[in-house]
Structure 1
Amino acid sequence: MSYDWYPPSRPRPVDGGVRARSRRGHIGQHWWSARFIEGLESIGVGGRLSRGKRYARAGQVVELRIDAGAAVALVQGSRARPYRVRVGVVAFGKREWAGIEQALAADAWYTAKLLAGEMPPDIEEVFAAAGLDLFPAGVRDLAMDCSCPDSEVPCKHLAATLYLLAESFDDDPFAVLALRGRSRDELLANLGARRGGTAAGAGSVEAPGPPPLSEVLDTFYTAPRPPAGPSPAAVAIDSLLDQVPAGGIAVRGRDVVELLRPAYRALGDRAATAPPPAER
């Protein structure tokens, strides 16, 4: 039963509110933004969505904050005090994120895309393999609350918040993951640690500086002795091709990596048999 009986009202104008960039049509440019909002639009709740979209474009959202497990907003309506809006999702626990990070770190493709600030197109499959959903499938997967008197969920204030939340993912796809409980810095640091290095933007430990000159005067003018160590292990000339992500370009039904491998090996054989360069 619908209780949408409130008479039309004009919202109070907001100075400096959060305004959607999209002026018409769909809100959200990237696939991950559209993926978040499609569940809401699929249920078809009458004019609330269209009014919420108008609110988002008019800048009626005073403030929007994204935290682990929830997005909180203030939305100005017709009353003097803005309405308090909260959109909650389930944040994954430490054990669940450990499994996700292990799967992401196992494939350099995911790490490279995330470091570039992009959401990998098939990242949902990684979560699905762990029995998790990255994006809500509909309003039933969201805990939504608004302090307005409208008893319908979502109301136009909630809808405006959801649209702006989806558009914010265009600017920062890591906000999708932050809602599920993992910030950008935490995720990249954990991926870097699992891959045996430090991911960009995750912070690093500063290397110690040189010792004071007073402590090395006895050896300062001594020619440095090269460190003793084992000779580097031989590396196959075509080993670089093993780093190319699987599922790449195919030429006449054959993977381009396998087509290039004989050429790499031929170049390696020629380099091995070539005479050393003459000394000058």
Structure 2
Amino acid sequence: MLESIGVGTRLQRGRTYARKGQVISLAVEPGAVSAQVQGSRKKPYRVRIGLQTYGKAQWAELERELAANAWYLAKLLAGEMPEDVEEVFTAAGLSLFPADAQDLSLDCTCPDWEVPCKHLAAVFYLLAESFDEDPFAILAWRGREREDLLINLRAARDSGTPAADIAEHSGPPLEQSLESFYSLQAELPQRTGYSSAPDALLDQLPEPGVVVRGRSLTELLRAHYQELESRS
């Protein structure tokens, strides 16, 4: 994206600064990325990269589209960013990333007249890496923090629950039903007894292969089981 708007070729200037740890702070906020970069002077330079945020109506439309797509919704609620999420912005006539260099407001307190200077380039370099680590930061830059987005998506998902499903689970709140929660709600069906042969268990066991006085152990036990039944 940066290469397409003419900034990418200057990123190498800031790479050395970034790799040396010259960027001592970096924060992504709605509409602005702010950073401090240690240059040749004692006092760090202040860097700011501004980007227009989207309004409530625009984000409401985006969130409705995201919530309406089960795949997008599942990925986002699981803390993952769908790879083609930019298509949702495009369909709404918006752009997730800056489409032109004019979309960005670049500022650095250094005396270098060239824009972007190496301090801005260093921040751009680390910013791209931070988006790889946390893609939700891109949305935060456009005006929607991660937690706010997920809360709104859950609300949109819940409001779309079919009425039949809601009615099926409707009832008084639990705190109003504590006294009767464990009480018998209906008569239990009467259990009917059942009978079986006293030696039926032996028919379910494998043959042990043991012979006692010329008779198998199973047959000897069968006689005792039948005798116990006759005495009960």
Q: Which amino acid is the alignment partner of residue 155 of structure 1?
A: C
The yes-or-no answer on 1:39 pairing with 2:2 is yes
Instruction: Provide the residue aligned with 2:20 in structure 1.
Output: 58
The structural deviation recorded for 1:115 is 2.3
Structure-1-length-normalised TM-score: 0.57
Task: Tell me by how many angstroms 1:168 deviates.
Answer: 0.8
Alpha-carbon distance in 2 for matches of 1:222, 1:131: 58
CA distance 1:77–1:220, change in 2 (3 Å)? closer
Flag structure 2 segments of 5+ consecutive residues without an equivalent: 161-172, 188-232
Residues of 2 paired with 1:221 and 1:97: CA distance? 46
Alignment of 1:62-211 (within 5 A): 62-196=24-158
Shifted more, 72-81 versus 107-116: the winner is: 107-116
Output the TM-score relative to the length of structure 2. Answer: 0.68
Residues 177-186 or 136-145, more deviating: 136-145
CA spacing shift, 1:159–1:138, aligned 2, 3 Å: farther
Query: Structure 2 counterpart of 1:186, which letter?
Result: D
Q: In structure 2, the residue corresponding to 1:196 is in which secondary structure? A: helix
Q: 1:212 to 1:73 in 2, by over 3 A?
A: same
Change (3 A) 1:224 1:61: same
In the TM superposition, residue 41 of structure 1 has moved relative to its aligned partner by 6.6
d(CA) in 1 for partners of 2:153 and 2:48? Answer: 31
Which amino acid in the other structure matches residue 131 of structure 2? F
Aligned equivalents of 1:221, 1:80: Cα separation in 2: 72
User: Does the 8 Å CA contact 1:40/1:139 hold for their aligned counterparts?
Assistant: no
Following TM superposition, by how much is the alpha carbon of 1:118 offset from its aligned partner in structure 2, in angstroms?
A: 2.6
Runs (4+) of structure 1 exceeding 3 A deviation are 208-213, 219-222
1:223 pairs, out of 171, 174, 184, with 184
Paired residues of 2:7 and 2:116 also in contact (CA < 8 A): no
Q: 1:212 offset after TM fit, Å?
A: 11
Per-residue deviation, 1:40: 4.0
Larger Rg: 2
Q: Any idea what the Cα deviations from partners look like across 1:190-228, whole Å, max 9, x if unmatched? A: 111111169xxxxxxxxx875798xx4xx68842349xx
Q: Let me know the Cα RMSD of the aligned residues.
A: 2.6
Q: How far apart are residue 113 of structure 1 and its match?
A: 1.6
SS in 1 for 2:106: strand
In the aligned structure 1, how far is the partner of 2:49 from the partner of 2:89? 21
Structure 1 residue 49: Cα displacement: 2.4
Instruction: Return the letter of the residue paired with 1:58.
Output: K
Conserved? CA contact 2:32–2:48, under 8 Å: yes
C-alpha separation in 1, matches of 2:98 and 2:181 = 64
1:66-96 CA-partner distances (Å, limit 9, x unpaired): 1101010000000000000000111000000
Q: Which amino acid aligns with 2:184?
A: A
Q: Is the 8 A contact 2:2 2:8 kept in 1?
A: no
> What secondary structure does 1:145 align onto?
strand
**Residues 138/160 of structure 1: CA separation in 2 closer, same or farther (3 Å cut):** farther
1:228-249 Cα deviation digits (max 9, x unpaired): xxxxxxxxxxxxxxxxxxxxxx
* Amino acid of the structure 2 residue aligned with 1:43: G
Identity of aligned residues (%): 58
Would the aligned equivalents of 1:41 and 1:49 in 2 still touch at CA under 8 Å?
no
Check whether the contact 1:53–1:163 (CA below 8 A) recurs between aligned residues: yes
